[in-house]
């Protein structure tokens, strides 16, 4: 399963990329606003900066809600860099735009998916990715992971090329369950991905290894010092006897 980092923060993207475990980036208007990226020129420049940091797969979302507007924005976003995947909402006009952009050879990510039926429509339109929102489903007492399972099974049954990109990932267990349930990709905030590194037994084990190593090496150093002192004494005795 691939990991995408869900952020528009360049420092987080750079650090995640340096770890060597992140395969792409997802953004949305809220994340761009959080970084105070305002206006078409600033947005374009920021996406260029993101694309310069990663190897591929940068989801950039359209703001328009009508077909013509989404197509216009989608084409403009795709021209920024070949790494751009145009993110389009799950609406009637959104599905139409996905079909149109796909026919133009532009990769798309259908976002705000909350049912298997919506995921089927996105796949029919040719979406490269479909983004079911796990956490938001959980928020309203629905089974978010169950949605991932259902979509993955349907896509596998019919050989769909559309990839399941699990979104609204809130914690590390979401990531692990996504892998178990067959998601192709999971996108998560930087701190959630970082959380996979953490386990107290790892910390305890590392501390023990270092302690043992230090103890042995300090012992070796003492032995070396004693041997050196012994050699010095032998030299003194040899001089006296001569």
Residues that are catalytic = 87
Q: Kindly state the tokens that stand for 221.
A: 């150093």
* Alpha-carbon gap, residue 49 to 72, rounded angstroms: 22
Would the CA dihedral through 173, 179, 184, 185 be positive or negative? positive
Contact 88, 110 (CB under 8 A): yes
**CA-to-CA separations, 198 to 15, 51, 202, 203, in angstroms, rounded:** 17, 29, 7, 8
| Whether 59 contacts 4, CB under 8 Å | yes
Work out the angle at residue 186's Cα, subtended by the Cα atoms of residues 7 and 54, and round it to the nearest 5 degrees: 50
CA 208 – CA 230 distance, rounded (Å): 33
Residue 217 exposure: Cα atoms within 13 Å on the Cβ side:
6
Token digits of residue 143: 């089974």
Match 């997802």 to its residue by tokens.
Answer: 26
Task: Give the bridge partners for 36, in sequence order.
Answer: none
Distance CA 172, CA 189 (A): 10
């Amino acid at each position: 399963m691939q990991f995408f980092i869900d952020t528009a923060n360049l420092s987080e993207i750079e650090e995640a990329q340096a770890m060597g475990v992140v395969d792409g980036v997802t953004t949305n208007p809220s994340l761009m606003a959080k970084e105070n990226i305002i206006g078409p020129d600033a947005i374009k420049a920021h996406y260029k900066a993101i694309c310069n940091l990663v190897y591929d797969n940068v989801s950039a979302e359209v703001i328009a809600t009508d077909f013509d507007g989404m197509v216009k924005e989608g084409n403009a976003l795709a021209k920024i860099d070949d790494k751009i995947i145009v993110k389009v909402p799950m609406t009637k006009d959104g599905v139409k735009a996905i079909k149109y952009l796909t026919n133009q050879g532009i990769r798309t990510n259908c976002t705000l998916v909350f049912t298997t039926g919506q995921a089927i429509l996105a796949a029919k339109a040719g979406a490269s990715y479909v983004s079911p929102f796990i956490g938001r489903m959980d928020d309203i007492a629905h089974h978010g992971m169950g949605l991932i399972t259902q979509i993955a099974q349907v896509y596998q049954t019919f050989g769909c090329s559309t990839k399941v990109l699990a979104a609204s990932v809130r914690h590390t267990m979401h990531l692990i369950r996504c892998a178990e349930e067959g998601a192709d990709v999971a996108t998560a905030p930087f701190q959630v991905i970082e959380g996979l590194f953490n386990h107290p037994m790892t910390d305890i084990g590392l501390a023990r290894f270092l302690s043992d190593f230090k103890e042995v090496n300090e012992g070796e150093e003492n032995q070396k010092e004693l041997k050196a002192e012994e050699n010095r004494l032998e030299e003194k005795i040899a001089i006296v006897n001569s």
